[in-house]
Amino acid sequence: MAQLIDEMLMLSRLTRKPMQREHVDLSQMAREIAEELRTGAPERSATFTIEDGLVVEGDRVLLRTALQNLLENAWKFSAGRDRTVIEFARADTDGAPAFVVRDNGVGFDMRYSDKLFRPFERLHTQGEFPGTGVGLTTVQRVVRRHGGAVWAEGRVDDGAAFYFNINSEAP
């Protein structure tokens, strides 16, 4: 319960915190988060592929929160694989630039994709994958504060891809 309350407070702060825009190297940030994940579970066989040069103008703290949630989800939902494979890259979606975090995890049924970004909605049981159901809601709020959008694609037992874009000109 304490963790849930802490995450709800953090989610509330995200929407009220003044934005501090600066040059943010998302590639470097993703490498740091990947190293933290590896250090926390050195027994896991994992490959991270992180594209160089993924840079935006935005709030460093908020963007780290979003990217950390996406990479931690990819890590969590691919834990049962013999080898975890996670990618962070630039993606071209309908002619518009975006970023993508892709994994080889358990994936999800696209019929339920509308639930992904709702707080406390879960597509897997707490016993299968622990968590509070606030992570993707947090990602969505951070991305929206940056004038962007977030969406996902997945297939059951065939991984997931979470896309987002950032409007560097957004207030």
73-97 per-position pLDDT tens digit: 999 989 889 999 999 999 988 878 8
Residue 52 near residue 25 (C-beta atoms within 8 A): no
Domain boundaries, the chain: 2-164
Task: Say which CATH superfamily domain 2-164 falls into.
Answer: Histidine kinase-like ATPase, C-terminal domain (3.30.565.10)
CB contact set of 103 (below 8 Å; sequence gap of 6+):
73, 74, 75, 77, 78, 84, 85, 86, 87, 159, 160, 161
Tens-place pLDDT, residues 98-144 = 999 999 998 887 887 887 887 546 555 545 545 555 788 889 999 99
Angle between helices 60-77 and 26-40 (to 10 degrees): 40
**145, 164 contact by CB (below 8 A):** no
pLDDT, one tens digit per residue, over 62-74 is: 999 999 999 999 9
Q: How far apart are CA 157 and CA 84, in angstroms?
A: 13
Q: pLDDT tens, 11-60?
A: 666 667 788 999 999 999 999 999 999 999 999 999 999 999 999 999 99
Report in angstroms the alpha-carbon separations of 25 from 57, 117, 147. Answer: 9, 25, 18
Which H/E stretch holds residue 83? none
Residue with tokens 């991984």: 159
pLDDT of residue 109: 79
Going by C-alpha positions, the residue among 95, 71, 94 that lies closest to residue 84 is 71
Model confidence, pTM: 0.86
